[in-house]
Structure 1
Amino acid sequence: MYSRLITPARIHPWGDEDLLEATEQDRARIVQAAPVRRLQQKTQVFPLDVKASVRSRLTHSLEVQETGRQISRRILAALPPGEVCEGAFINLVEMSCLLHDVGNPPFGHFGEQVMSQWLGDMLDPLYQQALAQPPSPQWAELRQDLQLFDGNAQSLRLVHSLHELNLTLGQLAALCKYPQQPQPGVSYGQHHGWSSKRGIFFSEQPLYRALGQSLGLAPGCRHPLVYIMEAADDISYCIADLEDAVDRRILTLGELLAALRGADQSDYMSTLLDDALASSRGFFPHFRQLLTRDLVALAAQSYVSEHGAILQGSYPQALLHGQAPAARVLDILKRVARELVFLRPEVEALELEGYAALRGVLSSYACLLALPAPQFARLLAGEGSQALFFARRLYHRLSARHLKAYRLAIATPDPRFACQHEQEWYYRVRLLLDYVSGMTDTYVLEEYRLLSGI
């Protein structure tokens, strides 16, 4: 089964690589990719923070990569010898971990909410300005796809459609945390787990279908290595967010300990906290080591025990789902972070600054979306008239890479679109979202100040 799921094949063939060589080539392409470098200027919890010890998205992703490697090695030790190429397995897991946040916009999940809110407010009026005609019946689907901006879906678009890394098929599929496509009007309960979340844009659906057909994945099913990446992320960020909050004095260690002891009086929690407090290395290094050890073992055990369903991509829950003591502590850490960190005035003040900057930049560039297609085509051809003097200057700030992807997407009619004019406008909106979501926290603030004359 793994021989089909982990393969040297690529969308665009690249020589006669063997499997290990192909995944090593993936590693080189990913590590050297510009979107990975940009992660160093995107903060994990505290936007616009300049303190060196606070985690950036890049340092967080490196921690996730290492945790993913540890889980992988435990899994491989439990699988029958020769079932899978171990080096390729570990390479794919490590690189999916390194890339797991690469599609996040400025200000992370808060930025996703800001972009979705702005799109919800502006898509319909901008559509009417640009197209000046009633929308097709398909527009409701396209509108929802554009409005619900998701960093996971953007990751696949970024590495394949925009940066054209031409990764192996298994590596691309291992990035897709939420391959399911929820339908409008359908209510999904918590028992659906990851399958209730959307994670593939309309623009990348043909790519994901091709991946599924080549790798033998049923529609809406995960690649098995996604489960490992998800577990590694959960393990890493839950501990790190609280450590950064204490380091930044958002809360004290005493407040954290009181919250943890109050939430769980079990022997496991007490032993974990007491051992960490007694360590000469300091509380967080020892706490992280002890809890990570147990969570890594639990994730690997879950993967092996549910191996059949995971290989099919149909296992409905996360590897760390359940009532094991370590899993309960992980859930408590998430809840404590929400209650004691993310709702603090200091954190919300930083987010308000990000809110103003992100909405301001989107609103400034909205004039490019309001243009009728013939006028935008004149900008593409370098023929902007005096009436387009402001739009032309904004257009010149767009990335050449993003413009190339836009031109390619509209070059030929796509039969999936009911109207060709909606195809053009859909990808023009994607062009703006690609550009803005790729900005770092500091760059979007600088761009806002520039466009606002501040």
Structure 2
Amino acid sequence: MSDYQHFIVSDRLSTPNKIETELSAIEVDRNRIVQCSPVRRLQQKTQVFPLDVKASVRSRLTHSLEVKEIGRQLALMVLTELREEQGFDVDQQAFVSLVEMSCLLHDVGNPPFGHFGEAVMIDWLRTRLPRLFKQAVGKGSRQWPMLITDLQQFEGNAQSLRLLHSLQGLNLTLSQLAALQKYVRGAYQRQSQAPWQQKPGHYFSERPLIQQMRALFPTTVRGRYPLTFLMEAADDMAYGVADLEDAIDRGVLSLAELELAVLGEGNDYLKTCWQQAKVGDPDFFSRFRQQLNDDLQRLVSQQYLAHHQAILAGQHNEPLLAVEQAPAQALQWLKDFARRQVFNRREVEALELSGFAALKGVLEAFAPLLALPAQEFARLDSRQDAESLVLRRLYHRLPPRHLAAYQRDSRQTALFEDATEREWYFRVRLLLDFVSGMTDTYILEEYRLLCGFQG
């Protein structure tokens, strides 16, 4: 029996009435994922250049589609080697689909303006939440330090899990949800440099789900689900070259600047790839990317197979591309160069400043909803007095789906010691779910409206 039969399962948190095979359950997941709104919203979320109207420049959606295709190729290559070299009998369709769909979903939890948006949100949460809690609740219980630590962090990977499971209610298989988890630490737990704990992978609100997942996959208590390694590698391969290609297409970086740096600073392997792709020809970037990706795919497959037993046991503690081999080092150089020479450009930073103003402005506008005691917030929709006039209108801008999740979770979620703190915790989550789910253009429109500039 293949060890993958322990990892590729049809189990869901909410069990359907009909009995599902592993393959049929994975196919149901694909249908739900492709049609869900968080995937559609990726088309108006930043990859590198916020608010770009040029169709050839990548959005989060086009980036995720590229990651999905690279993930598919990696999964097929690994499967071929598993069968030929190690005699594993693995369901190909289920294996490939789990990798593909985790690649498509890997960025759905990212807020407007990407990683810059994450940093803005974290700064606001750490600055404003303590005082808002004191106004609304007062003194915290012994559990409160852990809960506010959880709320004062924001991470796209953790938000992806919350979005798909708690807000969208897709009821995906636990295999598919586990494949999304890059990190094993909860946001409520102390940060450490232990493997896969550098960032939070889930919030306290999803802790019951994580407990079920770890009961089914015990190796994920301290290690990753095996197929997550392939998703991560596909993501790294996709943006390593693409961000530079977009920068040149956008005119932020010239091809001559990049060539000068590659030939002056790159390793011999990177220089050879560059020269063989024939810079200046119309299809140069396509050939350059393909040659690099072909070699990286072979390297990823080799690393997966070399560490296969440790990966299955949850004991492999490094990304597959964290190796001192020429293709991986070339990819790392390209990513480092993009960080130095693209993300710090004046044009990119100017767009991010627009995002800073919008994100902080919207959060601050809705902050009075968090300052209300629970009883006042509960009555807000029915109040007609002048004092609540603005607050009621802010309340009405919150999405019905998010409000329904707040109503459900603030009353019955387990593991909270104090009901008042639970209500306020999920009220904060309500605001974060709303803001982080916005596209770049939507949050700018919302900010203009709140500032009185609409129309």
Interval containing the TM-score (normalised by the shorter chain) = over 0.9
Tell whether the 8 Å contact from 1:72 to 1:90 is kept in structure 2 after alignment.
yes
| Structure 1 runs, 4 residues or longer, greater than 4 Å off | 182-187, 278-281
Shift of 1:379: 2.5
Check if 1:141 corresponds to 2:146. yes
Match of 1:49 among 47, 52, 56: 52
**Paired residue secondary structure (1:196):** coil
Can you give the 5+ residue segments of structure 1 that lack an aligned partner in the other structure?
none
State the distance in 1 between where 2:387 and 2:168 align. 33
Match of 1:123 among 101, 118, 129: 129
State the distance in 2 between where 1:417 and 1:224 align. 31
Shift of 1:171: 0.3
**Paired residue secondary structure (1:194):** coil
State the distance in 2 between where 1:58 and 1:122 align. 32
Check if 1:442 corresponds to 2:441. yes
Match of 1:231 among 230, 233, 247: 233
Map 1:254-273 to 2 at 5 A.
254-266=256-268, 268-273=269-274
* 1:124-181 C-alpha deviation (Å, 9 max, x unpaired): 11111111x2222322221121111011000000111000101111001111111224
Provide the TM-score with structure 1 as the length reference: 0.95
**Paired residue secondary structure (2:171):** coil
State the distance in 2 between where 1:87 and 1:412 align. 38
State the distance in 1 between where 2:282 and 2:171 align. 44
CA RMSD of aligned residues (A): 1.6
Counting aligned pairs with the same residue, the percent is 54
Tell whether the 8 Å contact from 1:403 to 1:431 is kept in structure 2 after alignment.
yes
State the distance in 2 between where 1:142 and 1:235 align. 36
Tell whether the 8 Å contact from 1:209 to 1:219 is kept in structure 2 after alignment.
no
Counterpart for residue 371 of structure 1: 372
Distance 1:171 1:450, change over 3 A: same
Counterpart for residue 74 of structure 1: 77
* 1:253-304 C-alpha deviation (Å, 9 max, x unpaired): 11111122222242x1221010112584422111100001111111111111
* 1:361-398 C-alpha deviation (Å, 9 max, x unpaired): 00001111111100111125x34543211111011111
Map 1:277-356 to 2 at 5 A.
277=278, 280-356=281-357
Distance 1:412 1:20, change over 3 A: closer
Check if 1:209 corresponds to 2:211. yes
Map 1:137-176 to 2 at 5 A.
137-176=142-181
Distance 1:218 1:29, change over 3 A: closer
State the distance in 1 between where 2:19 and 2:63 align. 35
Distance 1:349 1:170, change over 3 A: same
Tell whether the 8 Å contact from 1:272 to 1:287 is kept in structure 2 after alignment.
yes
Distance 1:112 1:84, change over 3 A: same
Counterpart for residue 120 of structure 2: 114
State the distance in 2 between where 1:252 and 1:332 align. 17
Shift of 1:216: 3.2
Counterpart for residue 401 of structure 2: 401
Tell whether the 8 Å contact from 1:272 to 1:291 is kept in structure 2 after alignment.
yes
For 2:366, give the aligned amino acid: Y
Check if 1:274 corresponds to 2:280. no
State the distance in 1 between where 2:384 and 2:412 align. 24
Tell whether the 8 Å contact from 1:152 to 1:176 is kept in structure 2 after alignment.
yes
Provide the TM-score with structure 2 as the length reference: 0.95
Distance 1:243 1:396, change over 3 A: same
Distance 1:183 1:115, change over 3 A: closer
Can you give the 5+ residue segments of structure 2 that lack an aligned partner in the other structure?
none
State the distance in 2 between where 1:196 and 1:360 align. 29
